[in-house]
Structure 1
C-alpha cells in the first residue's frame, strides 16, 4: 500500500510499504481522511522535540488526526466493528499502570503516540493497523472529513472544560488557528462570551466570518475583565501575557506549544491566586466532541481549506498552500487519491 514516510528533516516520500495486519486486539482501517497538524510540520522539518530526545526517529510515518472504515478485526476484537466508520485516540497507553487504570492513559509512562512517537505507524497511509480499545465510532451523520477533526476538537473541548467558564462569562482565546477556533466554537456552544486575539489584523477575517465579532490584535484588544484565558498559540511570549490578562482567582489554560521555551512568573500565579492548567491530548474530550459535532452545536467544516492527495502533501508541509484552498486553517488528506 502507499504511505507517506519522513526519511529525514525536510524529506517526505510516498512509498510502497507492507499492508498492515490486524493483530490481537487490533483492527485494520481503510483511511478516508487525515488532518495535517502543526506537529506533522515539526516532524517534517526536524524541529519536533521528540526527534532531539530520541523518542522519535527517522524514518517515521506520520498522521494522527484521522477517520476511516474498519475492514478487518484481529483476535479478541468484537467483529461488530467491521464496516463501521471510526476515529481514534492518538494517545495509546499500556493499559496496566497506575495512570492508565486511573483514566489517565494519555500520560502513561509507556505512552505510544500514533504517528508521532516510534512504534505506531501513522494514518497518512491507505490503511492503518490500530488498537481496538482506543477506537471511537462515528455516527452516520458524520462524514470522514468531520471525523478527522474529532482529535483536534477533543483537545479544544478539554481546553474549554479546563477554563471553567459558565454561560455569560468572558473567555479570551489567544490564537486563531485550528485549535484556537475550535476552543472558541466549543466555548460559544456553552454560552460563554468569546473573544479571540490573533497576530495580525488580516488574520481576523476568518474568525469574524464564523460569527466571532470580538476578534482583536494585541494592539486593539480592549481592557476587559477576562474570566479565563486559553493560550492556543505557538508564540513564546503569550503564556506570560495570558497570566497578565486573566482575572485574579480565575484560570489560564495552556494548550499551545511554542517552538522555543516560554516563561511565566510563578509569583504572579500565586499572588493573583490563578489556576494554571496544561492540556495534553484529546483523550478525555473525544466523546464530547463526537456528540457536539453530531448534534450540530459545533460545526468544524468551515475550518477545512481543501482536501489533497498524498503526493501533494510534501509541498504543504514545506509551507506552500495548495492552489484554490479556502480560508480555513485545516488541510485534509485523502490517502486513496
Structure 2
C-alpha cells in the first residue's frame, strides 16, 4: 500500500510499504480521510519534543486524525466489525497500569500514540492497524469530513467542558486555529458568549462567520469580564495573559503548546482563586464530539479548507496551502487519491 513517510527533518517520501495485518484484538481500517495537524508539522520540522525524548524516531508514518471502514479483523475480534465506519482513539495505553485501570490510558507512561509515539504507524496511508478497543462507530449522519474531525473535536470539547461554562457566560478563546475554533463552536452550542483572540484579520473574520460574538487582535480586545479563558495558541506569553484576563474564581484552560517554555505567575492564580486546567488528548471527549456532530449542534466541516492526496502532503507540512483552498485552518488528506 501507499504511505506518506517522514524519513528525517524535512525529508519525506510516498512509499509502497507492506500493508498491515491485524494482530490479536486488532482491526485494519481502510482510511477514507485523515487530517494534518500542528503535531505532524512539528515532527516534519524535527522540533517535536518526543524526538529528543526518544519517544519517537524516524522514519515515521504520521496521521492521528482519521476515519475509515474496517476491512479486516484479527484473532478475538468479532467479524461483525467488517464494513463498519469508524474513527478511533489516538492514545493506546498498556491496559495494565494504575492509570489505565483508572480510566486514564491517555496518560499511560507506556502508551503508544497512533502516528505520534512509540512507532505505531499513522493514518497518512491507505490502511491503518487499530486495537478494536480504541474504535468509535460513526453514525450515518457523520460524513468523512466530520469523521476525521472527531479527534480534534474531542480535544476542543474537553477544553470547553473544563471551562465549566453556564449558558450566558462569556468565554475568551486564544488562538483561531482548528482547536480554538472548534472550542468556540462547542461553547456556542452550549449557549456561551464567545470571543476569539488572534493575530491576523483574515483568520478573525473567518471566526466571525462561524458565529463568534467578537474576534479581536490584542490591541483591540475589549475590557470585559471573561468567565473562562481557553488558551489554544502557541504563544509563549499567552498562558500568563490568560490568567490575567480571567475573572476571579473562574477557570483558565490550557490546551495549546508553545515551542518554548511559558511562564505563569502562580501568585495570580492564588490571589484570584483561579482554577487552571491542562488538557492532553481527545480520549474522554471522542464520544461526545461524535454525538454533537451527529445531532448537528456542532458542524466542524467549514473548518476544512481543502482535501489533497498523499503526494501533496509534503508541501502542506512545509507550510504551503493548496490552490483554491478555503479560509478554514484544516487540510484533509484522501489517501485513495
TM-score interval, smaller chain: over 0.9
Q: Distance in 2 between matches of 1:209 and 1:248?
A: 31
1:182 match: 182
Please give the alpha-carbon distance, in whole angstroms, between the structure 2 residues aligned to 1:200 and 1:6.
Answer: 30
Deviations 1:31-76 (A, max 9, x none): 0000000000000000101111111111111000000000111111
* Structure 1 contact 60–118 (Cα < 8 Å) conserved: no
Matches within 5 A, 1:19-38: 19-38=19-38
Question: Superposed, which structure 2 residues align to 1:142-181 within 5 Å?
Answer: 142-181=142-181
Q: C-alpha displacement at 1:205, in angstroms?
A: 1.2
TM-score where L is the length of structure 2:
0.99
Q: Which residue of 1 aligns with 2:223?
A: 223
Residue deviations 1:275-325, cap 9 Å, x none? 100000000000000000000000001001010000011011001111111
Task: State how far apart, in whole Å, the 2-side matches of 1:145 and 1:80 are.
Answer: 24
Residue aligning to 1:209: 209
Report the 3-state secondary structure (helix = DSSP H, G, I; strand = E; otherwise coil) of the residue aligned with 1:204: helix
The answer for the alignment partner of 2:123 in structure 1 is 123
Distance in 2, matches of 1:64 and 1:180, equals: 18
Match status 1:251 vs 2:247? no
TM-score under structure 1 length normalisation: 0.99
258-267 or 293-302: bigger deviation: 258-267
In the alignment, which residue of structure 2 is the partner of 1:316?
316
Alignment match, 2:50? 50
> 1:321 and 1:201 mapped to 2: Cα distance?
18
Is this contact kept in 1: 2:60–2:119, CA < 8 A? no
Shift of 1:78: 1.6
Give the number of aligned pairs.
Answer: 337
Flag as ranges the 4+ runs of structure 1 deviating above 2 A.
200-203
Q: Equivalent residue for 2:307?
A: 307
Aligned-partner Cα distance in 2 for 1:22–1:120: 13
Which structure 2 segments of 5+ residues have no match?
none
**Deviation, structure 1 residue 96:** 1.2
1:191-250 CA-to-partner distances (Å, cap 9, x unmatched) read: 111111111233211011112141111111111111000000011110000000001111
In the alignment, which residue of structure 1 is the partner of 2:264? 264
Q: Is the 8 A contact 1:207 1:213 kept in 2?
A: no
Cα distance in structure 2, aligned partners of 1:81 and 1:231: 38
Aligned partners of 1:200 and 1:217 also within 8 Å: yes
| Corresponding residue number in structure 2 for 1:66 | 66
Deviation string 1:156-184 (CA, Å, 9 cap, x unpaired) is 00000000011011111001010000000
Distance 1:271 1:42 in 2: 36
Contact 2:71 2:82 in 1 (8 A): yes
Measured on the aligned residues, the alpha-carbon RMSD in Å equals: 0.7
Deviation at 1:25, TM superposition (A): 0.3
Identify unmatched segments of 5+ residues in structure 1: none
